[in-house]
Amino acid sequence: MQRFLSEPEQQTLGVILKVADLNPFALDTRAALEREALERAALTAVERPSAVQPPEADESVVRAYLRQVAERLADTLRGRLGAGTRATPSELEGYHSLVRYVLYERYQTVFLSLIERGERGEPTTIRIPEYRNYRRDLAHYLELPDVSFPGAVPAAQLFAWGFQIRRAYFHTFRQIYGASKPAARLRATVWQSIFTHDIDRYRRALYLRMGDITTLILGESGSGKELVARAIGRSRYVPFDEERLTFTHDAAAEFYPVNLSALSSNLIESELFGHRRGAFTGAHADHAGWLEVCAKVGTVFLDEIGELDEPLQVKLLRVLQERRFYRVGDTQERAFTGKIVAATNRNLPEEIARGRFRADFYYRLCADVIHAPSLREQLADAPEDLPRLVHVLCTKIVGEAEADGLTREVTRWIEERLGPEYAWPGNVRELEQCVRNILVRGEYRPEGSRMQPGRELLNQLQAGALSADAILRHYCTLVYARTGSYEEAARRLGLDRRTVKARIDAEQLERLQRDQPRDAPPA
């Protein structure tokens, strides 16, 4: 009697399913698994294209080939089941997972078009007629005589999982930019915050429960904590209604950010919990707060949680513990069904030791902690990320048509005036303002940080950005700015006075005279 799975097929199936369920941002592990999958796939009936030669193969080519292998294997196994070949429960479970992967890959373009619609600000709760084809394809693979699949789930649920995975990949990659190892680790960590480290367990038991787990994002001011929160919030599981052929909610619209440091305590309480008419002066009507408005698939983002005063910490602690709250001035208890993501640049254990932050509140916040790396950490690992990140910001500020030119201007200014050692204390937020300053003024002068005399020239030399004539011009200008005398500058430089005068850069001179004191005149 024919076996359902041959030994090579079993090995190929196992590796393909590992690739399918792998954290896509765990780069080292993914590369190793893809190479193994290629080797196993060579034992199947699908001929490897000549372009696919691990490990040099292009990632997209490798994945396209693995999808081809997976689809061929699914068709082969479906034929055997239809012909009456018996399979063990474990083999049927593997086949079911293979079918899920094949259909996810087959309908990726449907998911991506919906994501892009959301990025344009258009609603994503529209009819998706392609779901009928998805359900038909699933039935083709799974509805077979005398075959029962252990743990099988409805087509709508599989479709919703596929959409969530595609959204999670899109938003994590889009919101968290950079080729550095700190950025890569951050993306891998965010993926775990969405699906946990065990995606099988997530699918079995957690996809409707992740809202119960609070995420705390730590990092310096301007390091992109809200971008991390958005990636998580926009990647939550959203059910699909197969009767209406729509997703039940618009994931992009179910993200509610609240900057706690920008609001008074009373306003924070009203914004979060809502209030009853007449609860305080100015409360002319009932008001539903974000905790009430937020749907089960939604996320409330509490930025600067370290600034919250103790009475509000107590109220939010009850929300985290019991998922219940009251509007201000109301006696009706209400339920919070969404997810809380919080962020702070403060050291909360230190704040607890100083009596400024409640320990019980902290331990309700820290079930899932993410550390957002600073910009200087990212650039120290991958300096080439700077022009790429500048280009992203330029595109955002001036649009694609002008982005390339502005990127060159900004990058040149940073290399020549700030240099590779600049610490970017304001992180990505400061870099964005640097771009805006150079766009408007043609320069960027960091607040509270003046260049040491000669540092600007040193940065330019290190960058290899100056010709011999430019070096002389800059150095003459620097020495003249310090001395205030052509004669003294010429004496120090060992040049003729007229040579020094001819080499003065007026723009550089104005900047140096504004920022540095002159040397005392010689005795």
> 326 phi and psi, to 5 degrees?
-125, 145
Quick: pLDDT tens for 86-103: 999 999 999 999 999 999
Say which residue the tokens 């995606």 belong to: 199
Quick: pLDDT tens for 491-503: 998 999 889 888 8
Task: Tokens for 432, please give them.
Answer: 């964005």
* Burial (CB count <10 Å: 0-12, 13-18, 19+), residue 146: exposed
Task: Tokens for 276, please give them.
Answer: 């009853």
Residue 330 CA to residue 334 CA, distance in Å, equals 10
Please choose, from the candidates 484, 480, 483, the residue with its C-alpha nearest in 3D space to the C-alpha of residue 504: 480
Q: For 319-338, what is the mean pLDDT?
A: 95
Give pLDDT, residue 45. 47
Residue 158 CA to residue 147 CA, distance in Å, equals 19
Domain boundaries, the chain: 7-177, 226-373, 376-441, 455-515
Task: Tokens for 92, please give them.
Answer: 């049927």
| Angstrom distances, CA of residue 295 to CA of 250, 305, 315, 338, 343 | 10, 21, 20, 6, 21
Give pLDDT, residue 282. 79
Give pLDDT, residue 348. 95
Q: For 504-509, what is the mean pLDDT?
A: 81
- Give the pLDDT band of residue 521 (cuts 50, 70, 90): low
Kindly write down the DSSP assignment for every residue of 174-240, as one continuous string: HHS--SSHHHHHHHHHHHHHHH-S-HHHIIIIITTTGGGS-EEEE--TTS-HHHHHHHHHTTS---E
Quick: pLDDT tens for 187-208: 999 999 999 999 999 999 999 9
Quick: pLDDT tens for 399-426: 999 999 999 999 999 998 888 888 999 9
Is the Cβ–Cβ distance between 172 and 192 less than 8 Å?
A: no
Whether 390 has a pLDDT exceeding 50, the answer reads yes
pTM score of the predicted model: 0.82
- Give the pLDDT band of residue 335 (cuts 50, 70, 90): very high
Residue 73 CA to residue 94 CA, distance in Å, equals 12
In words, the CATH class of domain 226-373 is alpha beta
Residue 45 CA to residue 187 CA, distance in Å, equals 36
Q: Which residues pair with 215 in a beta bridge?
A: 341, 368
